[in-house]
Amino acid sequence: MVCRFQGLVPHWGWGTHGSTHISDAYSRYLLRCQAVEKTDSQRVQAIFEAAFREHGMPEAIRSDNGAPFASRAIAGLSRLAVWWMKLEIVPERIAAGHPEQNGRHERMHRTLKQETASPPAANRRAQQRAFDCFRREYNEQRPHQALAMQTPSVLYVPSPRPYPGRVPEPEYGSAMLVGTVRQGGVLCWKHRNVFLTEVLDHEHVGLLPIDGRFFTIFFAEFPIARFDSHRLAVLPLPQDKDFNRDEAGEGDESPSPAPHPLTELEEKVSGMYPV
């Protein structure tokens, strides 16, 4: 699944507006094209939740590095990304300044903008009608050369992963120390406060020992940071030296420091225990 947020822009007739677009990466099926008044996580999360309930949940969601998908917090976490991670959805982010890493969605967005918002409709309701009309035509009537001249609706298959009735809380294995992030984004380590991130206020995290000094901090099944227990410092995870972010393509694994769950091979190589 891929997504994009078109930022708020002024319109003389009906204030500011933006839109959230969600599509299936394989079939290019446009799942949502929703006009919004604000960029807050709660409003955008409601759009994703409706999409998950109707179409099932993806394994991963690729986005850019802007709000509400990412932030300046450790590992680029945002409240929206934390919700995805609780649902076992991998947040993938393209490298800054490289929209080609989300090329299919960017091309769709350019066409959408040309046909529905140049200029914008007279009011928000009319703008949403234009979006809905475009989505039906794009999914069901327009053949795509990259899809062997088939329409997205022919190839699209909903996800078999249903949206749960209750969002699960993270669970951690016995090899980990489990702590609660307090108000203000701090962890308590031997009666000392260590700042992690306010994005995880009131959430549980796991600390997996690497040696006598360093720990890997997990949220759910995702490693998000490294903790130096001597310096009481939270550090970014080391980057993969073999991965060239600027050369990453659309089909490559996430070219950003977004959290990824450990694979079975990585667990064996690193000596880390599965969460």
Residue 124, exposed/middle/buried by CB under 10 A (0-12, 13-18, 19+)?
A: middle
Residue 190: inside a domain: yes
Beta strand extents in the chain (DSSP E only): 2-11, 15-23, 30-36, 60-63, 90-93, 177-180, 186-189, 192-195, 204-209, 214-219, 222-228, 233-235
Alpha helices, H only, the chain: 41-55, 79-86, 103-116, 124-140, 152-155, 264-270
Q: Are residues 190 and 89 in the same domain?
A: no
- Residue 179: predicted pLDDT: 96
Strands 186-189, 192-195: pairing is antiparallel
Residue 101: inside a domain: yes
pLDDT at 260 over 60: yes
Separation between Cα atoms, residue 81 and residue 84, nearest integer Å: 5
- Pick from 9, 74, 55: nearest CA to 227: 74
Strands 204-209, 192-195: pairing is unpaired
What does the block give as tokens for 65?
């590095």
**Which of the residue ranges 66-70, 234-238, 260-264 has the most confident prediction, judged by mean pLDDT?**
234-238
- Residue 139: predicted pLDDT: 96
Residue 166: inside a domain: no
pLDDT band at 227, cuts 50/70/90? very high
Residue 162: inside a domain: no
Residue 102: inside a domain: yes
pLDDT band at 258, cuts 50/70/90? low
Mind listing the pLDDT tens digit for each residue in 97-149? 777 777 777 888 888 888 988 888 888 888 899 999 999 999 999 998 889 99
Q: Which of 155, 186, 207 is the last residue of a domain?
A: 155
Residue 122: inside a domain: yes
Q: Which domain holds residue 226?
A: 177-270
Contact between residue 43 and residue 21 where contact means Cβ atoms under 8 Å apart: no
- Considering its fold, how many domains does the chain have in total? 2
Separation between Cα atoms, residue 275 and residue 268, nearest integer Å: 13
- Mean pLDDT, range 82-111, rounded to an integer: 86
Q: Are residues 137 and 98 in the same domain?
A: yes
Contact between residue 116 and residue 127 where contact means Cβ atoms under 8 Å apart: yes
Q: Are residues 45 and 104 in the same domain?
A: yes
Residue 124: inside a domain: yes
pLDDT at 86 over 50: yes
- Residue 35: predicted pLDDT: 86
* CATH number of the domain bearing residue 147: 3.30.420.10
Strands 30-36, 192-195: pairing is unpaired
Q: Are residues 190 and 150 in the same domain?
A: no
Give residue for tokens 């699960």: 168
